[in-house]
Structure 1
Amino acid sequence: MKLNLVARGHDLTTVQSVDDLAKKASEQEISTLQLALSRSFPDLATDSHAINPGMGHYIKQALAKEDVSVGILSCYINMIHPDLSVRETVLRQFERYLQYAASFGATMVATETGSVSEAGYTEKNFSDEAFSQIVEAIRQLVRAGEKHRMMVGIEPGLNHPLYSLDRVAELIAAIDSDYLGIILDPTNLITAENHHQQVGLVEEAFERFGEKICGLHLKDYLVSDEGEIVPVDLGTGMIDYEAIVKIAQKHRPYLYIVLEETKDSALKHAVSVLDHVTG
């Protein structure tokens, strides 16, 4: 069975235009993108006031010239920003992305949860209060997703309030909606101490809430001398990609598999490597 492989638009670097992005994706044998507008096109206004259906149609048509499409539209926000006015602004932006995602051809809008601290990492993210805040924010976004018939894809991360499979299960139990999806990045949920358990983590996730997993990030890594997880191009690190993609195929055929942090010409090599895995 062929894999439904996706590349992040901003992993194709030095992109100058939508046409350029389409061409570079096609050259790497990538036909589907996870597109974060502000990261691929930093000079383009893409906030809640700027995004519009014409923008979506233009980008969709330009990519289609090279048989490339947007599968996932990213809108990375800190949904629990400590400044409530900023929080309201970014939640409104995400809602706008949900409103116009279909014009881009996307099937979902994705984000991480963020942090209760402007500085990023804080142990306060692991509190029940922080978790309650993300539940409230995601419930608001999912209601907008239901209105616009667009899935909300939420990505857990070790340093965020959604930091474990148990917390993901709690979130799913708290928000009963077909428009809530989970984007699983196992490399975001491991440390230098437990990274050898990654395949088991993926298997457990699919067994516990596989029907909610709407995307899988396949991010290769090395463990540094300082004990940090360092992303690298697929096939140059320690991830057991063969076992992980087989789990995904078993539970969710043709699931989006995003080659996160694999950049430029390394994407074509990754596509070839994964083609050999799946026969």
Structure 2
Amino acid sequence: MYNLVIRGHDLTNVTTPEQLAQETQKVGIHNLQFAMGASFPQMDSSASALNPGMGTYFKNLFAKHEIQIALLSCYSNLIHPDPQAREEILHKFETYLRYASFFGASMVASETGSVIPNLGYTEDNFSDEVFADLVQVIQRLVKAGEEYKTLVGIEAGLNHPLYSIERTKQLVEAIDSDYLGIILDPTNLITVDNYGSMVEMVEEAFAQYGSKICAIHLKDFIISDGKVKPIALGQGLIDYPAILKIVQKYKPYCYIVLEQTQDQNIITANELIAKI
């Protein structure tokens, strides 16, 4: 009862759309988080290039291999400090929302970004002023989502304005829309001090805004050199059985997106999850 998803670019030897479809089928997965720019850097994935034919091509190609695009990735710095750069980023996201249905995707996904252009760490991200700015940005995107009937999937992370369960709840409370979805990646919200409480953190997220959670990112980790470092599922410390049982309790068949799990490790992860 788990709807497993992989990121297309985690199949590392893929160079063509047909090959991506074939390799995804080979590893036994039926859902993709599709980032065109990551999977096919040579392909123009800009706002001006997107069109219904492009979306329909990918939708039909993947369907032949019993695969759907679960999430369309448009990961960008949504709060870029340069007004012109931000406008281009938001326009691209809105364009992805416009054409998502042609790809067969129910949502377009992104993290929130940073007040530093290169997404570097700064405590400036944690201010109420930056959060208020973020709310305005997400409100704009959600309005487009409402128009095109596509979810806006927003992912929290420690270094971003959306850095905690509490801050995410504030965003949910500030934006009253059925088209705001939250992508929960618990590994993005832990430190070397609190990683042992990850399962409780997941429970808390579902208790606070479970109705808004539209996908889970499942990313294993180790503690190395005083840092949380991602690793393939099953090779680290994450209590994925406990987390998946929580997801099953609150959101049966919710999309479970593997991260940092590539190639042969995808097959292994699929087998591990099937045993739960």
Shorter-normalised TM range:
over 0.9
Aligned to 2:83: 84
- In the TM superposition, 1:101-120 aligns within 5 A as 101-119=100-118, 120=120
Aligned to 1:155: 155
Aligned equivalents of 2:121, 2:49: Cα separation in 1: 30
- Equivalent position amino acid for 1:54 in 2: G
Aligned equivalents of 1:221, 1:27: Cα separation in 2: 26
Aligned equivalents of 2:9, 2:133: Cα separation in 1: 29
Structure 2 residue 200 is the aligned partner of structure 1 residue 216: no
- Equivalent position amino acid for 1:9 in 2: G
Aligned to 1:142: 142
- In the TM superposition, 1:93-108 aligns within 5 A as 93-108=92-107
Aligned equivalents of 2:228, 2:48: Cα separation in 1: 37
Aligned to 1:170: 170
- Equivalent position amino acid for 1:276 in 2: K
Tell me the CA shift for residue 77 of structure 1. Answer: 1.1
Tell me the CA shift for residue 146 of structure 1. Answer: 0.2
SS of equivalent residue, structure 1 residue 82: coil
- In the TM superposition, 1:116-265 aligns within 5 A as 116-119=115-118, 120-224=120-224, 226-265=225-264
SS of equivalent residue, structure 1 residue 246: helix
| Ranges in structure 2 where 5+ consecutive residues have no aligned partner | none
- In the TM superposition, 1:17-56 aligns within 5 A as 17-56=16-55
Aligned equivalents of 1:267, 1:37: Cα separation in 2: 20
Aligned equivalents of 1:31, 1:237: Cα separation in 2: 25
Aligned equivalents of 1:274, 1:230: Cα separation in 2: 21
Give the alignment's TM-score, normalised by structure 2.
Answer: 0.99
Tell me the CA shift for residue 14 of structure 1. Answer: 2.1
Tell me the CA shift for residue 274 of structure 1. Answer: 0.4
Give the alignment's TM-score, normalised by structure 1.
Answer: 0.97
- Equivalent position amino acid for 2:17 in 1: V
SS of equivalent residue, structure 2 residue 44: coil
Aligned equivalents of 1:129, 1:138: Cα separation in 2: 14
Tell me the CA shift for residue 64 of structure 1. Answer: 1.5
Tell me the CA shift for residue 15 of structure 1. Answer: 1.2
Aligned to 1:14: 13
SS of equivalent residue, structure 1 residue 34: strand
- Equivalent position amino acid for 1:140 in 2: R
SS of equivalent residue, structure 1 residue 215: strand
Deviations 1:44-73 (A, max 9, x none): 001110111111111111111211110100
- Equivalent position amino acid for 2:272 in 1: V
Identity among equivalent positions (%) equals 53
- Equivalent position amino acid for 2:267 in 1: K
Aligned equivalents of 1:14, 1:268: Cα separation in 2: 15
Aligned equivalents of 2:104, 2:226: Cα separation in 1: 40
- Two-structure CA RMSD over aligned residues (Å): 0.7
- Equivalent position amino acid for 1:138 in 2: I
Tell me the CA shift for residue 249 of structure 1. Answer: 0.3
SS of equivalent residue, structure 1 residue 13: coil
Aligned equivalents of 1:23, 1:258: Cα separation in 2: 19
Aligned length: 275
Aligned equivalents of 2:72, 2:194: Cα separation in 1: 31
Tell me the CA shift for residue 212 of structure 1. Answer: 0.3
Aligned equivalents of 1:79, 1:41: Cα separation in 2: 22
SS of equivalent residue, structure 2 residue 19: helix
SS of equivalent residue, structure 2 residue 211: helix
Aligned equivalents of 1:156, 1:253: Cα separation in 2: 22
